[in-house]
Amino acid sequence: MNKKAYTLFITIILLSVFSYVGVLILETKSIQNTNIQNKYLYIQAKNHKEFLKQYIKIINLEGINNLSIEDPIFTIKALINKHGSSYEIDIFVSAKKYDISLHEKVIR
């Protein structure tokens, strides 16, 4: 009877240790996946910002106060203010469902 109790006790201890280690591994994998997703979204947002910046350089800004691009994942917009003969442009790109937001001020 005593031998069965020790076997049961050791089995419970081993099961608890392996369960705890398993949960730690799954949490680490989840955090890694979230980080990879955030990196991907940040790169995408940066590409959208650079595209809008290049697009603004080639268009005529006369009479335009704001500019936005439709996208299912990101909010992409530019606010344009004319100061004398130059334009001050604020470019904003932010993810709609994630905590990613970029801003750049451009003078043209």
Q: How many whole angstroms separate alpha carbon 69 and alpha carbon 77?
A: 6
Q: How many whole angstroms separate alpha carbon 40 and alpha carbon 62?
A: 35
Q: Which of 90, 95, 91 is nearest to 74 (CA)?
A: 95
The number of residues making up the chain comes to 108
Span 55-83, average pLDDT: 86
Task: Give the pLDDT of residue 46.
Answer: 92
pLDDT tens, residue by residue, 6-31: 888 899 999 999 999 998 888 888 88
Global pTM? 0.70
pLDDT tens, residue by residue, 70-105: 888 898 999 888 888 888 889 999 988 888 889 989
